[in-house]
Amino acid sequence: MSDAKCPICGGSGWQVVVEGDYSFVRQCVCTISLRENRAESGLPERYSMCTFENFQVNPGGGKKNPTLMAARTVARDFAGKFPAVNTGLLISGPAGTGKTHLAAAILNTLINRNEHGILFQDFRELLQDIRSSYSPDSKVNEFGILAPVLNAGLLIIDDLGAERPTEWADSQFSYILNYRYNRLLPVIITTNYLDGGGRMEEESLSERVGVRMRSRLFEMCREVCIEADDYRKINTGQ
């Protein structure tokens, strides 16, 4: 439910409809638009309950992790200020540390505030959808898939760099990023790839998305680095 009271139902979510001598109760349009807005955001069901409150800053029940606390503060701040934001966020850190949770918490906060045009997009899936659109049987063309991604008021790209780096994938990414850069449209990116200072055996973000796109990203986004162990491994004792 939205924080602002709906003028029709006063926030109850139910609307009394009077037709002649009859009256009945139905779900208020505000709950329907919230539901539609949520569905249109593309956020997978798994992340629909992600909030800042249920974000784990002490994975595995141990000590609070300062980088997780800082990341939550920055993300919450971003959601609080949106749409009055100058930069997006680049949330990096190892797998399983809650990067997607934070991005989803931002999205859920904005949707509950009735912001429209917030889009969540797994990057591999986006590339797959674009590829499928090239097929002659496809009902949508490439632009039909890209248009919402290009123009969303806020675009969240989840798991950048997870796909195999190819020239084609790079060109798709730079097209999206440059388009949004020129129109001052913010992006939130989550990625497992750290820049430089990460673990030696791992590839850096520049190697995954190219040096030019990496610098563009750093121009467009505030960096949020999470340093923590995979809490899914902690929990299962692996």
Which span (3-11, 97-105, 209-217, 227-235) binds Zn ion, by CB under 5 A?
3-11
Residues in the chain: 238
Cβ distance to Zn ion smaller for residue 32 or 184: 32
Could you say which of 1, 8, 70, 74 contacts Zn ion (CB under 5 A)?
8
CB of 77 to Zn ion, least distance (A): 29
For residue 183, the one-letter residue type is R
Residue 195 beta carbon to Zn ion: minimum distance, rounded to whole angstroms:
45
How crowded is the C-beta side of 109, counted as CA atoms within 13 Å?
A: 21
Min dist. Cβ of residue 158 to Zn ion (A):
31
Q: How far is the CB of 31 from Zn ion (least distance, A)?
A: 6
Contact between 6 and Zn ion by CB under 5 A: the answer reads yes
Instruction: Number of helices (H) and strands (E) in the chain: give both, helices first.
Output: 9, 7
Q: Name the minimum Å distance from CB 6 to Zn ion.
A: 3
Using CB under 5 A as the binding rule, the residues of this chain from 10 to 69 that contact Zn ion are 28, 30
Angle, helix 167-182 to helix 142-151, in steps of 10 degrees: 40
Per-residue string for binding with Zn ion, 206-235, x by CB under 5 A?
Answer: ------------------------------
How far is 80 from 61, CA to CA, in rounded Å?
A: 28
The answer to whether the CB of 83 falls within 8 A of the CB of 182 is no
Q: Please list the residues that pair with 24 across neighbouring strands.
A: 17
Q: How far is the CB of 16 from Zn ion (least distance, A)?
A: 11
Query: Given the complex with Zn ion, which of 5 and 212 has the nearer CB atom?
Result: 5
Cα-flanking dihedrals φ and ψ of residue 36, to 5°?
-65, -40
Nearer to Zn ion, 1 or 145 (CB): 1
CA distance 122 to 158: 5
Q: How many residues bind Zn ion (CB under 5 A)?
A: 5
Spatial neighbors of 185 by CB under 8 A, at least 6 apart, are 151, 152, 153, 154, 155
Question: Given the rule CB under 5 A, which residues bind Zn ion?
Answer: 6, 8-9, 28, 30
